[in-house]
């Protein structure tokens, strides 16, 4: 087995997994990722990192696995003997968790337990460090702002309740068995490779398509929700820093600024020359462009049974202990996402035209 540092990333095919894999490869790690078997390709975000398995200096390898399958996770950990495990795999969509609460608990809560147990069963407590992808959704119904490591949790979705278990079982294994196990309590972070059903990407994609005349309008849910949005590339750097500390601990990563969904829309549409103004209120609210065309409407189907209204994080502990700070601004993030989506939407339209 090579002397390089070995990292195992669950959720490597997701947004954060792809950026983290890139970062760790740049740092000289041997990177192992867990991917699920799917009926169509699901590795688009990491295809640029692919290495032919016959290459002599193989530094990026994928293993089939699933967070709901303990024996498979134990086998992968046994084979890789990672110095660092980043547990990023999850059913990560809050609204979907209301439709699939049991599966979400299995993958997001018990999945974390299965990995921690794998470390213990294999006797790797002193060798393997563990990162758990915890979330600002833990704060839920917010009693205090900004939210820090000492703010009480009050989850508002099956997703958040599952992540609450994962958070505490990580703390428990640290305290009970001396594991180097840390929680990153990460506020929303986005990028051009964000999943298309999260609100930021849904908006930047729609702004691009509308500006090219390929879509008429965008349907959204709660425009008043406020989120602290950062750039995913900055946040994966913070994850890595947590595992480089001598002692494990829990850290908030956030920008310290909050914006409404409505404001995110205005900024994204402005990138393509559409100036939105708002008419009406509640479910009747509409975003209208400078020519009077309705570009944004509210569809109550996107309202959540219980909503998290306001998130704004205090990352001063990460700043002082990890030396971490977000580098990219929200305006830079939005510009990058819209530019990317203009290319994506154009390419898709060209392909449709070619295929007749
Ligand atoms: P994504 O939804 O983009 O990626 C999730 C990853 O988990 C994908 O690789 C997915 O595989 C994989 N996955 C889902 N279910 C399973 C399963 N049962 N077994 C194995 N793999 C599975 O999420 P992000 O990259 O945005 O987030 C990474 C982690 O951080 C998640 O745990 C999320 O809950 C958490 N988080 C995210 C924040 C954010 O703002 N992005 C903020 C705070 C926490 P596939 O590609 O096959 O679907
Ligand atoms: P969130 O992200 O729930 O914060 O979870 P999402 O982008 O889904 O929602 C943010 C806010 O926007 C409101 N919203 C809509 N959301 C979606 N998806 N689609 C819409 O049409 C829409 N209209 C309004 C939502 O109600 C919400 O208030 C993300 C995920 O990445 C989690 O895994 C992670 O833990 C948290 O961020 C931090």
Over residues 209-228, mean pLDDT: 98
CB atoms within 10 A of CB 180: 22
Q: What is the DSSP letter of 153?
A: P
Radius of gyration of the chain (CA): 21
Q: Which residues line ligand 2 (CB under 6 A)?
A: 92, 94-95, 135-137, 187-188, 197-200, 202, 220-222, 225, 227, 261, 302, 304, 307-308
Q: Are 32 and 85 in contact (CB under 8 A)?
A: no
The pLDDT of residue 130 is 99
Confidence of residue 53 (pLDDT cuts 50, 70, 90): confident
Residue-wise pLDDT tens digits, 251-287? 999 999 999 999 999 999 999 999 999 999 999 999 9
Of these residues, 29, 131, 139, 159, which one is catalytic?
A: 159
Atom 14 of ligand 1 has which residue's CA nearest to it? 90
Residue matched to tokens 């702004």: 207
Write down all domains in the chain, each with its CATH number in brackets.
6-190+229-253 (3.40.50.720), 199-226+259-309+328-354 (3.90.25.10)
The pLDDT of residue 2 is 61
Residue-wise pLDDT tens digits, 155-198? 999 999 999 999 999 999 999 999 999 999 999 999 999 999 99
Provide DSSP, 26-63: HTT-EEEEEE---SS---GGGGGG---TT-TT--EEEE
**Cα-to-centroid distance, 26 and ligand 2 (Å):** 31
Confidence of residue 213 (pLDDT cuts 50, 70, 90): very high
Give the ligand at the shortest distance from the Cα of 69: 1
Residue 237 bears catalytic tag = no
Could you tell me the two tokens for 160? 């958040």
State the closest ligand 2 atom to the C-alpha of 261, by its place in the atom list counted from 1.
Answer: 12
The pLDDT of residue 356 is 75
Over residues 48-77, mean pLDDT: 95
Is the complex ipTM more than 0.90? yes
- Rounded to an integer, what distance in angstroms lies between the CA atom of residue 23 and that of residue 232? 12
What's this model's pTM, rounded to 2 decimal places? 0.98
- Rounded to an integer, what distance in angstroms lies between the CA atom of residue 261 and that of residue 263? 5
Of these residues, 13, 104, 128, 135, which one is catalytic?
A: 135
Of these residues, 30, 84, 137, 266, which one is catalytic?
A: 137
Question: Is pLDDT above 80 for 60?
Answer: yes
Residue-wise pLDDT tens digits, 8-45? 999 999 999 999 999 999 999 999 999 999 999 999 99
Question: Is pLDDT above 70 for 1?
Answer: no
Mean pLDDT of the chain: 97
The residues near 257 (Cβ < 8 Å, ≥ 6 apart) are 228, 312, 330
Over residues 138-167, mean pLDDT: 96
- Rounded to an integer, what distance in angstroms lies between the CA atom of residue 355 and that of residue 352? 5
Residue-wise pLDDT tens digits, 67-90? 999 999 999 999 999 999 999 999
Q: Are 272 and 342 in contact (CB under 8 A)?
A: yes
Residue-wise pLDDT tens digits, 279-337? 999 999 999 999 999 999 999 999 999 999 999 999 999 999 999 999 999 999 999 99
Question: Is pLDDT above 90 for 56?
Answer: no
């Amino acid at each position: 087995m090579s002397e390089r540092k070995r990292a195992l990333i669950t959720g490597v095919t997701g947004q954060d997994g792809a950026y983290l894999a890139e970062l760790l490869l740049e740092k000289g790690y041997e990177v192992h990722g867990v991917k699920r078997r799917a009926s169509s390709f699901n590795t688009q975000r990491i295809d640029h990192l692919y290495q032919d398995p016959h290459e002599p200096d193989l530094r990026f390898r994928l293993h089939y696995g699933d967070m709901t399958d303990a024996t498979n996770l134990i086998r992968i950990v046994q084979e890789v003997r990672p110095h660092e495990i980043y547990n990023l795999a999850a059913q990560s969509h809050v609204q979907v968790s209301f439709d699939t609460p049991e599966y979400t608990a299995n993958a997001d809560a018990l999945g974390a337990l299965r990995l921690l147990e794998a470390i213990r069963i294999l006797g790797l407590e002193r060798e393997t460090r563990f990162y758990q992808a915890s979330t600002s959704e833990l704060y839920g119904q917010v009693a205090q702002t900004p939210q820090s490591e000492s703010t009480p949790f009050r989850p508002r979705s099956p997703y958040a309740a599952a992540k609450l278990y994962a958070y505490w079982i990580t703390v428990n294994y640290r305290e009970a068995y001396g594991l180097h196990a840390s929680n990153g309590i990460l506020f929303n972070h986005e990028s051009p490779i964000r999943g298309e059903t999260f609100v930021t990407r849904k908006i930047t994609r729609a702004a691009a398509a509308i500006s090219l005349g390929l879509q008429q309008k965008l349907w959204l849910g709660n425009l008043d929700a406020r989120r602290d949005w950062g750039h995913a590339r900055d946040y994966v750097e913070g994850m890595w820093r947590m595992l480089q500390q001598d002692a494990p601990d829990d850290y908030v990563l956030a920008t310290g600024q909050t914006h409404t969904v409505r404001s995110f829309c205005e900024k994204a549409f402005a990138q393509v020359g559409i100036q939105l103004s708002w008419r009406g209120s509640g479910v009747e609210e509409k975003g209208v462009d400078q020519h009077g065309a309705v570009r944004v409407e509210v569809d109550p189907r996107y309202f959540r049974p219980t909503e998290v209204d306001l998130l704004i994080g205090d990352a001063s502990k990460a700043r002082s202990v990890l030396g971490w700070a977000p580098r990219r601004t929200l305006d830079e993030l939005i510009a990058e996402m819209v530019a990317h989506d203009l290319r994506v939407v154009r390419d898709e339209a060209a392909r449709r035209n070619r295929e007749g």
